[in-house]
């Protein structure tokens, strides 16, 4: 056994939704570095193609929308035009909507729950034949659902639907893992904390403020996301089923309450939350 044996992804095919930016891009970059052939999806064709070009010859753009069963089916059909098998599926595409409790709209709720919880299930269902074709006892296929620390802890932003959808996805992961294990398909979830991205505006615009409530003292990096995902996708993660891997600098499980912050820091967080309320951050 060598370290490469444990972590290599050579010869494997991966599909990463929302792979053109943020955490998805970091995961795609890590998979490519580990030797995989990676397809990235995203609604923005230009962004998707530009990222694929930047990540090199082992990255391929597969623009598409995963917000409905119809568009998911179309994306799966397009994938099958290029590949008969799928070794690794990363359900990363997401969105969040922040609004005060008394003003939270049904539109924001439905959009968030559909993309964050419904879509991972139906995309996995649509690509099940390809995952099963790739899977074997010696090399299981992998499904990695990207949840969030918002699935396990209450954040200071009023993202009610996001909390519910990500918590639901975490439990859905366990049920899917129990069902698909017999087909040599291993299902897990990766739970990121605060990573700068188009969706996580606080970590992007207020990195210094957010870092003060993270035990590690910093926000996440692409390497952090890639490391966790490569572990789950590789031989090293074959015996991890239905589990949650937190990649959050201790935010969910090792964080002191906000009350330990001084008055100025609490005011900074109040300002951050106020500025974020009412805004829908698109994936």
Active site residues: 162
What is d(CA 55, CA 18) in angstroms, rounded to the nearest whole number? Answer: 15
The closest of 144, 171, 28 to 88, measured between CA atoms, is 144
**Neighbouring residues of 8: CB distance < 8 A, sequence distance ≥ 6:** 34, 35, 234, 235
**SS3 per residue for 33-96:** HCCCEEEECCCCHHHHHHHHHHHCCCEEECCCCCCCHHHHHHHHHHHHHHCCCCCEEEECCCCE
What is d(CA 155, CA 198) in angstroms, rounded to the nearest whole number? Answer: 18
CA angle centred on 236, ends 235 and 242, rounded to 5°: 95
Do the strands 141-146 and 96-97 form a parallel or antiparallel pair, or are they unpaired? unpaired
DSSP state letters, 182-242 = GGTEEEEEEEE----SSS-HHHHH-HHHHHTTSTTSS---HHHHHHHHHHHHSGGGTT--S
The closest of 30, 21, 20 to 225, measured between CA atoms, is 30
């Amino acid at each position: 056994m060598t370290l490469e044996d444990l972590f290599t992804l050579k010869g494997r095919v991966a599909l990463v939704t929302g792979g053109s930016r943020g955490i998805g891009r970091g995961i795609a970059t890590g998979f490519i570095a580990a030797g995989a052939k990676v397809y990235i999806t995203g609604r923005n064709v230009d962004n998707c193609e530009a990222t694929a070009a930047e990540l090199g010859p082992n990255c391929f753009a597969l623009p598409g929308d995963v917000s409905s069963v119809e568009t998911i089916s179309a994306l799966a059909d397009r994938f099958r035009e290029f590949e008969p098998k799928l070794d690794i599926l990363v359900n990363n595409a997401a969105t969040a909507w922040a609004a005060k409790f008394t003003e939270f709209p049904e539109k924001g709720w439905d959009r968030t729950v559909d993309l964050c919880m419904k879509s991972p299930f139906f995309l996995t269902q649509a690509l099940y034949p390809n995952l099963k074709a790739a899977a074997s006892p010696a090399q299981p296929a992998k499904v990695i659902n990207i949840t969030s620390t918002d699935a396990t802890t209450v954040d200071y932003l009023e993202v009610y639907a996001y909390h519910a959808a990500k918590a639901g996805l975490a439990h859905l992961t366990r049920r899917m893992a129990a069902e698909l294990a017999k087909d040599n398909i291993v299902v897990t979830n990766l739970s990121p904390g605060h990573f700068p991205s188009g969706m996580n505006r606080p970590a992007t615009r207020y990195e210094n403020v957010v870092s003060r409530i993270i035990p590690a003292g910093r926000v996440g990096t692409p390497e952090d996301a890639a490391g966790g995902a490569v572990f789950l996708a590789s031989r090293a993660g074959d015996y991890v089923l239905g589990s949650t891997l937190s990649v959050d600098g201790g935010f969910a499980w090792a964080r002191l309450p906000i009350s330990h912050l001084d008055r100025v820091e609490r005011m900074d967080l109040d300002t951050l939350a106020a500025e974020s309320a009412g805004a829908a951050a698109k994936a």
